Chains A and B, each alone.
Chain A
Amino acid sequence: MTRFEDELKNNNFVCSYCTKCQHFVWPASDFCNKCLGDVMWKQVSKNAKVVEVSSKDEQYFCIAEFEGNIRVFGTLLENLSPKHDQNLILEECGYDKSPKFVFKTV
């Protein structure tokens, strides 16, 4: 279990961050994907934007982008289709065999 997965289980989204290159390393890794240096773990903002959206069985899901470069699939709480680029807030996250992200529109 990685730190990323551990923290997600506790409803906390952290990601690896390279202080030298000053960017989030996504997907989470023990090494920076630019300089291959060590990383620290940093809280990810709860604010995100809709990249793309679809639905299955009237449940909306989307790709959301955090911090300008962390893109993840997640579920939308509301039954209204959000628009491209619409602001989201991370309502809940978790980990059970795979990451889980739940968003609300802002």
Chain B
Amino acid sequence: MKKVGIVAAGITKFDKSEKPLESLMLSSIRPIFENTKNLKQDDVDVVLTSTNANRNYLANIISELSGIKPKTSHSVESLCNSGTNSLVSAYAYVSSGLADVALVTGADKADNPGLVLNWDMSRGEYQHPIFWSSMFTSAHMRKYGTTLEDLAYVSVKNHKNALNNPYAYFEKSFSFDDVMNSRNLTENLRLLDCSIPCDGAASVLVCSEERVKEFTDNPVWISGIGQKTISASFTKNNNLASMESTKSAVGDAYHMSNKTAGDIDVVELHDAFSICEIIELEDMGLCQKGQGSKFVRDLYDTNNNKVNPRGGLIGAGHPLGATGIAQIVEIYQQLSGKAGKRQVQGAKTGLVHNMSAGSTSSTVLVLES
């Protein structure tokens, strides 16, 4: 297989606007062409779009509107991890030699239909994502003594990190008391424990090792990939204090990249809700099982932003089809030394964790400078 590098990235401000989906995507594609030396539309072999918007032949539309006539264009949809799964598809095209240059773009609107999953009969009347989150929280509290205070530190930390991200939805900090006193949605979930659906788009350009030098002197290499889908029904995750798909995907990504959790300098992980960050840190080996809350508290106390430096989903917002690509953009910027005030000093190896449908499916990427 050929090596595949990320050579350029673009992102929009995450907000709520009247902009149509196509304009959002184009707004994140434009900086790629503006800022990448030698890149012309004719260079792009593949255009992949990631969205939950139920749009027909969107990749062809975006190709035409971008002035690209790709060999391959199609959409990738798998709910919240559509973005990283579209990057994996692009990787497959390029690493196999079917293509040399692939553009991956993702976008969604705040009211996209991917938020409520009508197919999943196991959710009964409890179809909104807050209910699966509440179950993960109950299980982790019961098994490991996690508290509402522990959860609040995830939110406080990620909102604080988002203040250094000019593209984040939230532009204000929230205190510990703000989080603790925010509206109760369930007995163990408050409003500020939740990510917010919003508008946004993000794009990346990947290419084969042979072509990388044409476009950049500082590529970021995709060295590890893991994907796992255990089900579409939420209740198939047997141990609710853990995320089976994440454990499987991260194991494969570490194996492929020949890395371990100890090698990871910076992480973007899928904190759809506060409890997700705690469980994912544990399941990805970044701390021991049951130590996720303490790990988060240590990060907060030491002003360490190595986990979700852009603010994660809680601070930056969650436009579903764009989220995974926005996470990749962040790690790309971190490993290229382009993360500005968010820069994690000396970061060489980064990890992206993106999941969907109550962690029934997870995608993990290891990226290296």
Provide the bound-state CA to CA distance between A64 and B46, in Å.
Answer: 46
**Contact of B186 with A by CB under 8 A:** yes
Complex contacts, A71 vs chain B, CB 8 Å: 122, 235-236
Residues from 60 to 104 in A contacting B, C-beta threshold 8 Å: 61, 63, 71-75, 84, 97-101
- Closest Cβ of chain B to A40, distance in Å, is 18
| A56 & B124 in contact (Cβ 8 Å cutoff) | no
Q: Which residues on B sit within 8 Å (CB–CB) of A61?
A: 126, 131
Residue B142 at the chain A interface, CB threshold 8 Å = yes
**B185 contacts the other chain (Cβ, under 8 Å)?**
yes
Answer yes or no: B42 CB below 8 A from chain A CBs.
no
Question: A84 near B142 (CB under 8 angstroms)?
Answer: yes
CB of B124 within 8 A of CB of A101, answer yes
For the complex formed, measure the closest distance between the CB of A58 and the CB atoms of chain B, giving whole angstroms: 9
Q: How large is the interface on B (under 10, 10 to 19, 20 to 34, 35 or more residues)?
A: 20 to 34
Q: Chain A nearest CB: distance from B265 CB in Å?
A: 35
CB nearest to B132 among chain A residues: A73
- Residues of B contacting A98 with CB < 8 Å? 118, 121, 123-125, 127
Overall SS of chain A's interface: strand
- Whether a CB of chain B sits under 8 angstroms from the CB of A17 is no
- Give the contact-size bracket for chain A: 20 to 34
Please tell me if B138 contacts chain A, counting CB pairs below 8 Å: yes
Question: Which residues of chain A are near B185, meaning CB under 8 Å?
Answer: 56
Q: In the complex the two chains form, what is the Cα distance from A100 to B121 in whole Å?
A: 9
Given contacts A53-B138, A61-B131, contact A73 B187 (CB under 8 A): no
- Bound complex: CA of A75 vs CA of B139, how far in Å? 18
Chain A nearest CB from B234 CB (Å) reads 8
A-B contacts, CB under 8 A, total: 67
Q: Please determine whether B187 and A100 come into contact, CB atoms closer than 8 angstroms.
A: no
- B124 x A54 contact (CB < 8 A): no
- Residues on the B chain within 8 Å of A74, using CB: 124-125
The distance in angstroms between the C-alpha atoms of A98 and B263, with both chains bound, is: 45
A52 contacts B124, CB within 8 Å?
no
Q: Are A72 and B124 closer than 8 Å at their CB atoms?
A: yes
Check B125 against A54 for contact (C-beta < 8 Å): no
Partner of B126, one of A4, A73, A84, A97: A73
A27 to B123: give the CA distance in the assembly, Å.
Answer: 11
Question: B334: shortest Cβ distance to chain A, in Å?
Answer: 36
Q: Known contacts being A52-B135, A84-B142, is A72 close to B125, with CB within 8 Å?
A: no
With the chains together, A55 CA to B126 CA distance in Å?
Answer: 11
Q: Which residues of B contact A100 (CB under 8 A)?
A: 124-125
| B123 interface neighbour in A4, A53, A56, A73, Cβ under 8 Å | A73
Give B218-267 interface residues, CB cut-off 8 Å to A.
Answer: 233, 235-236, 240
Q: Is B137 an interface residue (CB 8 A)?
A: yes
Residue ID in chain B nearest A101 by CB atoms: B124
Seen from chain B, the residues whose Cβ lies within 8 Å of a Cβ on chain A are 118, 120-127, 131, 134-135, 137-139, 142, 185-188, 233, 235-236, 240
Kindly list the 3 A-B residue pairs having the minimum CB-CB distance in the complex, ordered from nearest: A71-B235, A73-B124, A73-B126
